Amino acid sequence: MSVAPLRRLGIVGTGLIGASIGLAAKRAGVAEVVGVDADEDAAQLALQRGALDAVTDEVDGDLVVVAVPVAELPRRVREVLEQTRDATVTDVGSTKGAVVAAAAGEARFVGGHPVCGSEARGPAHANGELFHGATWFLTPTAHTDAERYRMLHGFVSSLGAQPVAIDPRAHDRLVAMTSHLPHVLANVVLNQAGATRIEGHDPLAAAGGSLRDSTRVAGANPRIWVDIFLDNAEALRAALGEHRRRVERVEEALAAGDAGFLARWIAEAATNRRAMLADAYPDATDLHRVRVHVPDRPGVLAGITQALGAERINIEDFELRHVSAERGGTLTVLVAGAEQAARAAALLEAQGYGVVVSAVDE
């Protein structure tokens, strides 16, 4: 097979990721995108959104992307490989071990995992810009056809993502550490706080920013995350074991009053956090948080972002934390550069907002 422009893309599963791939592929110039989904309403909505050109019973194409829940991936990938004769087949699952094994050394299959998403679900929330700047892991094996891999690599790049090749088993160990372990720990910490009373006081009612920030991903959709945890159980158990050993070392330092260890431990974490932010944000060494208290009313977010945009203040990232209808919430905007952060704060304060600015690495 020679590398050629992708003419026809097939999508199995038209949820958020599948429909977003369809929208992005159309923008990238793919001539025809067809899809199939057991949920006929989802498929029709994806069609109406322009993510698909047609809904079919059996999907085919130059490339077929299987975008179904993790537990269904091995079976659906095998079905697609059996139903198609020449299509390159990939998936978008967040674990790779089981689906790569199910492909059984088929040269036409290349595992994939775009590291992006949203709390929203379904094709109604699909976004063709979802993959811009995102890492998209590709997991070729010794059996993978090199030309097909190059074609998929080019397709992923055309959607705005950054393709990264990785061994399937290494992928699962990596995401166990970077994604699955943080979800487990967020659930543990929040459930510990929720099950505790300290002399009649509810920790959840007294929660500070550190508890809220460290548990942002707690309670994520169990229909998705139970399957992910079980599918990657071996790697996740290993990550939890290493985490347990590190917690025990902190316990030992506390028992011994070892201030030196604790200081070095915190400094190591600060260095690691700066390294993580430097990778995510090129200007992380001069990145500032601009925290704005916002009321709970329509149009507030749009007004703030439009106002900053009009002043050419580049927003690197932002997060909105809603408290209640009465208390509103906090909008945190990441801005590169102390001068730009100060300009953003002055602009928002002039509009009557309460603003706090701090350097990210403080």
Distance in angstroms (rounded) separating the CA atoms of residues 161 and 319: 22
Distance in angstroms (rounded) separating the CA atoms of residues 129 and 49: 14
Distance in angstroms (rounded) separating the CA atoms of residues 236 and 190: 19
Q: Are 22 and 45 in contact (CB under 8 A)?
A: no
- Domains by residue range for the chain, with CATH: 8-166 (3.40.50.720), 171-257 (1.10.3660.10), 284-359 (3.30.70.260)
Question: Among 56-60, 221-225, 282-286, where is mean pLDDT lowest?
Answer: 282-286
User: What integer pLDDT is reported at residue 285 of this predicted model?
Assistant: 63
pLDDT for 3 beyond 60: no
In the block, which residue shows the tokens 């548990």?
Answer: 215
Residue by residue, what is the 3-state secondary structure of the chain? Answer: CCCCCCCEEEEECCCHHHHHHHHHHHHCCCCEEEEECCCHHHHHHHHHCCCCCEECCCCCCCEEEECCCHHHHHHHHHHHHHHCCCCEEEECCCCCHHHHHHHCCCCCEEEEEECCCCCCCCHHHCCCCCCCCCEEEEECCCCCCHHHHHHHHHHHHHCCCEEEECCHHHHHHHHHHHHHHHHHHHHHHHHHHHCCCECCECCCCCCCHHHHHHCCCCCCCHHHHHHHHHHCHHHHHHHHHHHHHHHHHHHHHHHHCCHHHHHHHHHHHHHHHHHHHHHHCCCHHHEEEEEEEECCCCCHHHHHHHHHHHCCCCEEEEEEEEEECCCEEEEEEEEECHHHHHHHHHHHHHCCCCEEEEECCC
pLDDT for 55 beyond 60: yes
Q: Are 70 and 94 in contact (CB under 8 A)?
A: yes
What average pLDDT does range 350-356 have in this prediction?
A: 88
pLDDT for 276 beyond 90: no
User: What integer pLDDT is reported at residue 212 of this predicted model?
Assistant: 84
Confidence band of 307 (pLDDT split at 50, 70, 90): confident
What digits encode the pLDDT tens for the residues 324-350?
A: 777 788 888 888 888 888 999 899 998
What digits encode the pLDDT tens for the residues 68-98?
A: 999 999 999 999 999 999 999 999 999 999 9
Cα distance from N-terminal residue to C-terminal residue, the chain? 53
What average pLDDT does range 96-112 have in this prediction?
A: 95
Residues in the chain, overall count:
362
Confidence band of 361 (pLDDT split at 50, 70, 90): low
In the block, which residue shows the tokens 């720990």?
Answer: 185
Up-side HSE of residue 167: CA atoms within 13 Å toward CB?
Answer: 4
Identity of the amino acid at 42 = A
Identity of the amino acid at 123 = P
pTM over 0.75: yes
Distance in angstroms (rounded) separating the CA atoms of residues 35 and 58: 8
Q: Is 111 exposed, middle or buried (0-12, 13-18, 19+ CB in 10 A)?
A: buried
Confidence band of 136 (pLDDT split at 50, 70, 90): very high
In the block, which residue shows the tokens 């159309």?
Answer: 26
Distance in angstroms (rounded) separating the CA atoms of residues 341 and 356: 10
